[in-house]
Amino acid sequence: MKKLIFVAIFAVLANAHFLTFLPSTDNVTSKENSKITLNAMFIHPFEQNGMTMEKPEGIYYENKKAVLPLEETKKFDHKAWKSSYQIKKPGVYKFYVQPQPYFEPAESKYISHVPKVIVSAYGLEDGWDEPIGLTYEIIPLTKPFGLYAGNLFQGKVVYNGKPVPNTEVEVELYNDFGLKAPTDAHITQVVKTDDNGVFSFVMNHKGWWGFAALIENGEKEYKGKKYPIENGALIWVKAY
Amino acid sequence: MRIFILSFFLFSSLFAHKLNLFVYDEDSKVIASAYFASGSYCNECKVTVFDDKNNLIEEGLTNKEGEYIVKNPKAKLLIKVEALGGHAAQSEFEVKNLKHEKEKIQSHNLLEGLFAAFLLALIFLGLKRIKK
C-alpha cells in the first residue's frame, strides 16, 4: 500500500510543471483588444492544477525595455501574477517573465523557467524570428501568432545565443477543454533538439501550447547544500 | 497543374505583400501609416480621405515612411490607401481630440471677446472722465 501511495505521489510530481505565461490575445487587431493582459502562473497546464508562484523578479517587454506592473492574483487556488501592457502602434511585441528560482525538494534542484510570448499588433509581422536576448531562449522558426491546430511548430533552443543540441523539450497543452490523457505518459509530450538545436512538434489540438527546453546548468545553495539549477527556455503559442 | 502552382505562388506573393493601414492621432495631427506585413513602408501610395457621409475631403501620397498627415480632419473619417498592384486597405477613424481642439478654440475666442469688451468699457469710462 505504501508503495502504491509513493508511486501515485511520484506520478503527480513527475508531470511537468510549467511556468505558464498567457496573454489575452496573440493578435491585436483593434483598439478594443489593444490592452494586453498577461497572466503568469506556475501550473500543470494539461492537468489544470497549480502551485504557488512567488513574486517574480519581473514581467518585461522586450529585453527590459519596459518593466510591467505586477499584480498578485490566484490560479487554481494558488498565488499567481498578472500584468498588462497598452499596445499603441503596429509591431511585434515580445514579453517574458523572469521568475525567482524555485527549490523543488522532490527533484532536489532549483527550477528557473523563463517563458515568453510574442504578440503581433495591427498586421505587422516582421521580427517574430528574432531573439529577445535571454540567456536560455527558444527562437520560433514558425510564425508564432498565426497557427492552426495540426500545424508543425518548430523552434531553435539557444544558450547565450548558441544552439543547444540534443536537449529535451517538454510540450503541454493548456487543457481548459477537459481532455483526458489515456495514460500519464500522454500528459507531457517530449521531443529532442537536433544537432542545430531545432525541435519540431505537431500541435494536434487548438489552444495554448507550452514548449519548455530544459537545460541543467549551474548550482544554487539551499540550506547549506548546493543543488543544480534546471533552466527552462519556454515559449507559449496558440493554435486556432 | 502548372496553373495551380502558378496561382499558389501568386497567392503567397500577394499575402506576403498584405497591406495594412494604422491611423492614429498625435500632437493634434491625424496620421495614417501604411505598411506591409513584412514591415516595409508603403511609400508614395495613394491616400484618399472621406468624411462620414462618404464625401472625398482630400487625397495625396504617403511619404517615405509610409505616412500621410490628414490636413483637414473631421470628427469621423474613412481613410483608404492603395499601392501599385492592387493592394489596398482602409480604416475608419474617430478624431477624439477634434472636439477638445474646437472647445479650446471656442473658449479662447470667448476669453478674447471678454477681454475686448473689458478694454472697450475701460476706454468708455476713460472718455467719460475726460469729458467731465
Q: How far is A56 from chain B (nearest CA, A)?
A: 33
Do A90 and B20 count as a contact with CB atoms less than 8 A apart? Answer: yes
Do A122 and B39 count as a contact with CB atoms less than 8 A apart? Answer: no
Query: Which CA distances in Å does A205 have to A15, A124, B76?
Result: 20, 26, 42
Give pLDDT tens digits along chain B (132 positions): 455 444 444 444 444 578 999 999 988 899 999 999 999 999 999 999 999 999 999 999 999 999 999 999 999 999 999 998 888 999 999 988 665 545 554 555 566 677 778 888 888 888 887 776
Q: What's the rounded Cα separation, in Å, for the pair A223 and A202?
A: 42
> What is the total count of domains within chain A?
1
B96-117 per-residue burial string, b: 16 or more CB within 10 A, e: under 16: eebeeeeeeeeeeeeeeeeeee
Q: How far is A85 from chain B (nearest CA, A)?
A: 18
B2 Cβ neighbours under 8 A, 6+ residues apart: none
Query: Which CA distances in Å does A190 have to A143, A170, A186, A202?
Result: 21, 5, 9, 12
CATH superfamily of B17-98: Macroglobulin (MG2) domain (2.60.40.1930)
Q: How far is A112 from chain B (nearest CA, A)?
A: 34
Instruction: Give the pLDDT of residue B97.
Output: 63
Entry pTM: 0.81
Q: Which residues pair with B49 in a beta bridge?
A: B58, B79
Selected for mutation to probe chain B from A122, A129, A145 (highest B CB count within 10 Å) is A122
Do B35 and A124 count as a contact with CB atoms less than 8 A apart? Answer: yes
- Measured in degrees and rounded to the nearest 5, phi and psi for residue B68 equal -135, 125
Residues of chain B contacting A125 with CB distance shorter than 8 Å: 37-39
A2 domain residue, yes or no: no
Q: Do A161 and A136 contact (CB within 8 A), yes or no?
A: no
What is the grid cell recorded at A39?
Answer: 497572466
* Strands B76-82 and B88-94, sheet pairing: antiparallel
Residues of chain A contacting B18 with CB distance shorter than 8 Å: 123
What is the grid cell recorded at A200?
Answer: 519540431
Residues of chain A contacting B37 with CB distance shorter than 8 Å: 123-126
DSSP labels, B75-126: SEEEEEEE-TTS-EEEEEEE-HHHHHHHHHHHHHHHHHHHHHHHHHHHHHHH
Residues of chain B contacting A123 with CB distance shorter than 8 Å: 18, 20, 35, 37
Instruction: Give the pLDDT of residue A30.
Output: 93
Residue of chain A with shortest Cα separation from B36: A124
Instruction: Give the pLDDT of residue A208.
Output: 98
Residue of chain B with shortest Cα separation from A120: B37
Do B20 and A126 count as a contact with CB atoms less than 8 A apart? Answer: no
Query: Which residues does chain A have with pLDDT short of 70?
Result: 1-15
User: Could you tell me the residue range of the domain that residue A205 belongs to?
Assistant: 18-239
| CATH code of the domain covering residue A222 | 2.60.40.10
pLDDT digits 0-9 by tens, A121-176 = 999 999 999 999 999 999 999 999 999 999 999 999 999 999 999 999 999 999 99
> Where does residue B25 rank: exposed (0-12), middle (13-18), buried (19+ CB within 10 A)?
middle
Angle at A66 between CA A61 and CA A71, to 5 degrees: 80
Spans of all domains in chain B = 17-98
Q: What's the rounded Cα separation, in Å, for the pair A7 and A17?
A: 18
Give chain B's contact residues with A (Cβ, < 8 Å): 18, 20, 22, 24, 33, 35, 37-39
